[in-house]
Amino acid sequence: MHDAVEVILAKRDRAELSDSQIDWVIDAYTRGEVDDAQMSALAMAILLNGMDRREIARWTAAMIASGERMDFSTLSRPTADKHSTGGVGDKITLPLAPLVAACGVAVPQLSGRGLGHTGGTLDKLESIPGWRAALSNDEMFAQLESVGAVICAAGDGLAPADKKLYALRDVTGTVEAIPLIASSIMSKKIAEGTGSLVLDVKVGTGAFMKSVESARELAATMVGLGQDAGVHTVALLTDMSTPLGLTAGNAIEVAESVEVLAGGGPADVVELTLALAREMLAGAGVTDVDPAEVLASGRAMDTWKAMVRAQDGDPDADLPVAHESHVVTAPATGVLTRLDAMAVGMAAWRLGAGRAKAGASVQAGAGVVWHARPGDAVTEGAPLFTLLTDEPDRFERALDSLEGGYDVAAAGTAYTPDPLVIDRIG
């Protein structure tokens, strides 16, 4: 039998935790036998002293064991899922899930809500009239069989230890611990039961991981966890110094995603959607389908509409529009050479597109539209940003967020974009 102090002292003194210590502490914390103060001390010791691959794998397995595991092996097609570590304008899940489903692979996409400057997939979809995030396991299975794709909220039964520990890390300065980030993400994804997994690990100013080195460490840790659990896992490191597409918000990101499904949309959103689709299809063993052709054919759009309808949404309904708008014009004629993802994300959050604490409401129509991307020519006095909100008193703080968040250089200035996909791990 173990006790909390013994486990805390072991990690404080840089010892490796044994399998039985890890199993005990996760189970006891989930049951309330280990209290928040003790788990906070252990989380801080892990942040400072780290864990090796065996410890992280066992910690992840113990979190999975705290709840139920889903099993999609009876479906008529293979399964693949994608997880993004979060960014600004990251609407990729919306076109990606129906595209991969239209290529013959089922996509059980359990998604979350936004917090702070990173948008939440469920918040975006909830801007569609009637759409609901909460599905029973039976509804999820039925939709995967009939439509091929589902984007919904994770039930309380999946990795309840993670839900408890995630909330604790948020208020104790231990969010950045790579063993805890990796085990948090992977415990839910492995418990979800997908056959293969593609990780989109964001790096840059608007991402959680600011440096390529830390992003690569996190990606390698998660890929190892997936492989140890028998899930085909790969990770792409992708740039999040510039926001994705031309919109950050909820309804406006849905509209942009529909443009991609219709064969248009911003080039970077299309590029990343196709790159992730190819990885998901390869992981599921489907190598004879070109997702670019499927996207162009309109089949992914058909799947999108079926997916939205299956969750009681109306894919043809008008999306909510913000009551108020404010245009920011270009300060000079020239070339936009920088657009900072964090500045845009903070502005969208302050306009009401995001929430400051879990459980708060968001505005469906709020957000930021930018009318140029780095490399584009801009004209003095022409619109550069449109800010959208229902509450005009929010504009001032949003403008503060954008201050210094972009650069316009002289006309003719050469601009070389950074690659969107930086590296592939796995």
Active-site residue set: 83, 162, 169, 184, 188
Among all chains, which residue has been given the structure tokens 């926001």? Answer: 243
At 415, which amino acid appears?
Answer: Y
At 276, which amino acid appears?
Answer: L
CA separation for the pair 373, 247 (Å, rounded): 11
Q: Are 144 and 72 in contact (CB under 8 A)?
A: yes
Quote the distance between the C-alpha of residue 314 and its chain's center: 24
At 258, which amino acid appears?
Answer: V
Quote the distance between the C-alpha of residue 410 and its chain's center: 36
Beta bridge partners of 383: 329
* Residue 109, SS3 per DSSP: strand
Q: What are phi and psi of 101, to 5 degrees?
A: -65, -40
CA separation for the pair 73, 69 (Å, rounded): 12
> Closest by alpha carbon to 29, among 136, 202, 160, 131?
160
CA separation for the pair 293, 315 (Å, rounded): 23
> At what angle are helices 178-191 and 160-170 packed, to 10 degrees?
150
Q: Which two tokens stand for residue 303?
A: 């799947």
CA separation for the pair 18, 152 (Å, rounded): 36
Q: What are phi and psi of 421, to 5 degrees?
A: -100, 115
Q: Are 239 and 87 in contact (CB under 8 A)?
A: no
CA separation for the pair 69, 273 (Å, rounded): 28
CA separation for the pair 112, 132 (Å, rounded): 13
Q: Which two tokens stand for residue 97?
A: 């899930």
> Closest by alpha carbon to 108, among 60, 148, 73?
148
